[in-house]
Amino acid sequence: MAEKIILTGDRPTGRLHIGHYVGSLRCRVDLQNSGEFKDIFVMIADAQALTDNAENPEKVRQNIVEVALDYLACGLDPEKTHILIQSQIPELTELTFYYMNLVTVSRVQRNPTVKAEIQMRNFEASIPVGFFTYPISQASDITAFKATTVPVGEDQEPMIEQTREIVRKFNSVYGETLVEPEIMLSDDKSCLRLPGTDGQAKMSKSIGNCIYLADEEDAIKKSVMSMFTDPDHLRVEDPGKVEGNTVFQYLDAFSNDDFFTEYCPDYKNLDEMKDHYRRGGLGDVKVKKFLNNVLQETLRPIRERRHEFERDIPYVYEVLKKGTEFSREVAARTLHEVKEAMKINYFDDAALIHEQAERYKNA
């Protein structure tokens, strides 16, 4: 079987939150440590962040180091994972320009993720062209590193499909050059898309309904205690709904039986707690207090490691520089192959010059 390569990443539009952690970060660290991958590229997608933050360059600039700190805090290891900054690899932009010819406007318009994001940002008629075309730029990121595997949250599924279409089109027009990637979703269904603390469909930096990995103890507690639950569960004795109840969705993603033994021995596991909630007689406050304990214990070591890296910011930039340099060489090799396949490699093709010279000699 061909060697497996990972590409994944995040937009530097804010610190990373626990949705990123369960949806992709936690899994990335396991993949990194599995030793199954030839290369792992984790990209800080600043160029993509600028597509809807063009007037806010300082925000993107500041958040590069925040995202890098979150990566290191979660256990991404620069010895095993190349952490790179998208804008510093111009080859990616060049690839995008050529891929644009292989995609129709109506195809991008049909992309459900783009549709949802346009709505969320109230762009309607004023969508920046760069934002509109970001699925194509994402195809460049994935293919530049010949990624076989893209571990992301479920909201990214239409993006990977778009990339696969571009790869197939490119290879059929110009000959077998690019690698078709596969999306890798978490096995744990509760982690595919963590809702926001306000109960909205997705925890997202751009909405601000987040618990951040860097949040201090009291901020986490405040978010948990004010979280959205079942609006019809008014009195403790009322039966409650577990489905669509944010507090239980978080417990699905974070709790395990050991946490019950330690912090809530009234129940052996989450199923028992859910049954009691459904029957009535279990108050939101008790469930929230348990969730708070679970999150505090999960996030404490991450926050402490983050504080250690915060004391050596020049090191963090050095990691980013090295990762970017390595990645740029890989992307440049792919771009070279792409240009060769597209027949736009005029100066490094001796056969071409010879052929033209012969043609004119005989004319």
Under the rule (CB under 6 A), what is the footprint of ligand ATP? 10-11, 13, 19-20, 23-24, 152-153, 155-156, 193-194, 202-206
Nearer to ligand ATP, 150 or 167 (CB): 150
**Contact at 8 Å (CB) between 301 and 26?**
no
Cα distances (angstroms) measured from residue 46 to each of 96, 148, 240, 275: 15, 23, 43, 45
Nearer to ligand ATP, 131 or 259 (CB): 131
Q: Which residue, 193 or 233, is less far from ligand ATP as judged by CB?
A: 193
For residues 148 and 179, the answer to whether their CB atoms sit within 8 Å is: yes
Q: Which is nearer to ligand ATP, 194 or 295 (CB)?
A: 194
79, burial (CB in 10 Å: exposed 0-12, middle 13-18, buried 19+):
exposed
Minimum CB–partner distance for residue 99 and ligand ATP (Å): 20
Q: How far is the CB of 353 from ligand ATP (least distance, A)?
A: 46
In angstroms, what is the minimal distance from the CB of 73 to ligand ATP?
A: 16
Dist. CA 233–CA 283, nearest whole Å? 9
Query: Residue 277 is encoded by which pair of tokens?
Result: 């909630």
Token pair of 235 as six digits: 């009195």
Q: Tell me the CA end-to-end span of the chain in Å, nearest whole number.
A: 50
The residue among 19 and 181 lying less far from ligand ATP, judged by its C-beta, is 19
- Which one, 251 or 264, has the nearer CB to ligand ATP? 251
Question: Following DSSP, what letter does each residue of 271-325 receive, concatenated?
Answer: HHHHHHHHHS---HHHHHHHHHHHHHHHHHHHHHHHHHHHTTHHHHHHHHHHHHH
Q: Closest residue (Cβ) to ligand ATP? A: 23
Question: CB of 361: closest distance to ligand ATP in angstroms?
Answer: 57
The angle at the Cα of 102, spanning 87 to 112, to the nearest 5 degrees, equals 75
Q: Which residue number, 205 or 306, has a Cβ lying nearer to ligand ATP?
A: 205
Tokens of 170: 């490119």
Residue placing its CB nearer to ligand ATP in the complex, 201 or 219: 201
Q: How many CA atoms lie within 13 A of 155 on its CB side?
A: 18
Coil, strand, or helix at residue 182?
strand
Supply the minimum distance, in Å, between the C-beta of residue 345 and ligand ATP: 34
Nearest distance, CB of residue 339 and ligand ATP, angstroms: 30
CB of 172 to ligand ATP, least distance (A): 29
* Shortest reach from residue 327's CB to ligand ATP, in Å: 18
What is the rounded CA–CA span in Å between residue 83 and residue 76?
9
* Residues near 258 by beta carbon (within 8 Å), at least 6 away in sequence: none
